[in-house]
Amino acid sequence: MNHTYHDLVSQTFYFPQEGFGLEENTLLFHGIRLYDLLEKYGTPLKLVYLPKISDQIKKAKNYFDTAIFQLQYQGKYNYTYCTKSCHFRYVLEEVLKNDVHLETSSAFDIDLIWKLHSEGLVKKDKIIVNNGFKNDAYIRRICGMIQSDFTNIIPVMDNWEELDIFDNYLGEKQFNIGIRVATEEEPHFEFYTSRLGIRKSEIINYYYEKVATKPNVRLKMLHFFVDTGIKDNVYYWDELRKGIKTYCELKKVCPTLEAINIGGGLPIKNSLGFEYDYGYMILEIVRQIQDACDENNIPTPDIFTEFGKYTVGESGAHFFSVIGQKQQNDNECWYMVDNSLMNTLPDAWGINEHFILLPINHWDRDYKRVNIGGLSCDNSDYYNSEAHSNQVYLPAINKDEKLYLGFFHSGAYQDALSGYGGIKHCLLPSPKHVLIDRDPEGKLVDWVWANDQDSESMLKILGY
């Protein structure tokens, strides 16, 4: 009977599969020989495979273009990258190779856009959507861009008061806006209606009272985001339909309205068993918008999305070494790794997010059930369940053997949430950060983006 880790994976999933393969019992990620890479750079390590970012964007654009062609939809698709999912410069550089727009969330995000502009990466006609409940610093900076003749800035109004503040700062200047509609939250959530956006029942009144009274303001976009993600379930389709219905009602009274923005939420692979029909979901979204517009005799809008996790999630991975084993009772064996999981993968702890967890070597060994323990002394610093099962299985090794582990598709949000390079729980440093790209001949090239955080930089923040 077979008991190897490789057998377990092959019997549970289609394997090898896109992005993952095996060579001499060690794991390949997009053709990268991870074992060699980890021997070269050591662990803990954060890795980003840059070509995946452009691949994802091209794939989504292709699905939308296919749907638009198939349905003869009269409106354009606009891929907008939501910077909050990963702000690193190398990500923005890769994203911007693909003729996309940008979405911002805060005052500093606008400074980031100015930096990109000063380096010629963002031109003044780029569409930039500004979301969020805006404080004064953020509003001032957005107005600064409008006054500096960025021609396609679209601040999305989150509440009744915001537009008056913009109007105050901008005087007679013409500018475009969007409105965000608050969606209903999923039934099991603590709140009924999202805190983000304006109540659906108030949208038309809001338009008459706040927008139509200002001749210099053009309402261009209706924004709604079902923040639990684009899923093929009744809740998602209901919320989408309600959002489209609001668009149709608003369009009848507001002729300048021309775009619908469905936000982010396109999922990524969080297990080797992940199945999602991207083509079907995108075709259905476009069809629903078209059908509703036809029924209401209004032109179909341009469609915007703000896919964050989808753009960068699958490009990233975190690697650790098992540095010790502890058998704490007859059933519970711990593999202790060389950094904190809470610090490096905060979503695993904060929102119970799953990543694809795979060993890098020893695929020919027996497997056993383990818990993975992080280095901090917090009892929540562990990982013990995968998306497809409430357990973690890994190769069984002797205490003196080397085992590398990888958490894959961790490229979105983790660094921003953990405060990359800042102070850390138990003062455990941010890991070394390595990038991989392909040269013009298609050969893999890797380099260090940043070394492990050193003690001096952390202690300096702390005032030492």
Give the footprint of ligand PLP on this chain (CB under 6 A): 82, 85, 103, 131, 225, 263-266, 306-310, 412
Q: Which is nearer to ligand PLP, 42 or 229 (CB)?
A: 229
Q: Please, which residues bridge with residue 144 across strands?
A: none
Q: Which is nearer to ligand PLP, 26 or 130 (CB)?
A: 130
At 215, list the tokens: 């001749």
At 311, list the tokens: 């753009």
Q: Which is nearer to ligand PLP, 40 or 199 (CB)?
A: 199
CA 428 to chain centre: 25
Torsion over CA: 167, 227, 312, 322 (sign): positive
Minimum CB distance to ligand PLP, residue 373 (Å) = 29
How far, in Å, CA of 256 to CA of 302, rounded? Answer: 12
Minimum CB distance to ligand PLP, residue 307 (Å) = 5
Minimum CB distance to ligand PLP, residue 260 (Å) = 14
Spatial CA neighbour of 364 closest among 324, 336, 337, 397: 397
How far, in Å, CA of 346 to CA of 355, rounded? Answer: 11
Minimum CB distance to ligand PLP, residue 292 (Å) = 22
Q: Which long-range contacts (CB under 8 A, 24 or more apart) does 345-352 make?
A: 345/318, 345/383, 345/407, 345/410, 345/414, 346/414, 346/417, 346/418, 347/413, 347/414, 347/417, 348/383, 348/407, 349/380, 349/381, 350/417
Q: Which is nearer to ligand PLP, 264 or 316 (CB)?
A: 264
Minimum CB distance to ligand PLP, residue 424 (Å) = 23
How far, in Å, CA of 258 to CA of 251, rounded? Answer: 8
Please enumerate in sequence order all residues whose Cβ is within 8 A of that of 424, keeping only pairs 6 or more positions apart, or say none. 340, 343, 418, 430, 453, 458
Minimum CB distance to ligand PLP, residue 52 (Å) = 15
Minimum CB distance to ligand PLP, residue 459 (Å) = 33
How far, in Å, CA of 417 to CA of 431, rounded? Answer: 15
Q: Residue 275 — φ and ψ, nearest 5°?
A: -130, 130
Minimum CB distance to ligand PLP, residue 414 (Å) = 12
Minimum CB distance to ligand PLP, residue 129 (Å) = 8
Beta strands in 31-158 (DSSP E): 32-33, 45-49, 77-82, 101-104, 128-130, 153-157
Which residue has the CB atom at the shortest distance from ligand PLP? 264
At 206, list the tokens: 């809001």
Minimum CB distance to ligand PLP, residue 155 (Å) = 13
Spatial CA neighbour of 180 closest among 114, 260, 294: 260
Minimum CB distance to ligand PLP, residue 216 (Å) = 25
212-228 in b/e burial notation, b at 16+ Cβ within 10 A?
eebeebbbbbbbbbbeb
Q: Which is nearer to ligand PLP, 9 or 163 (CB)?
A: 163
How far, in Å, CA of 80 to CA of 345, rounded? Answer: 25
Spatial CA neighbour of 74 closest among 305, 304, 286: 286
Q: Which is nearer to ligand PLP, 103 or 415 (CB)?
A: 103
What are the angstrom distances between the C-alpha of 24 and each of 19, 36, 62, 362, 363? 17, 12, 36, 9, 9
Kindly give the pairing relationship between strand 26-29 and strand 393-395. unpaired
What is the SS3 assignment for 155? Answer: strand
Q: Which is nearer to ligand PLP, 134 or 432 (CB)?
A: 134
Q: Which is nearer to ligand PLP, 203 or 266 (CB)?
A: 266
Q: Which is nearer to ligand PLP, 307 or 404 (CB)?
A: 307
Q: Which is nearer to ligand PLP, 305 or 371 (CB)?
A: 305
Minimum CB distance to ligand PLP, residue 270 (Å) = 12
Q: Which is nearer to ligand PLP, 131 or 270 (CB)?
A: 131
Question: Is 368:393 a contact under the CB 8 Å cutoff?
Answer: yes
Q: Which is nearer to ligand PLP, 5 or 225 (CB)?
A: 225
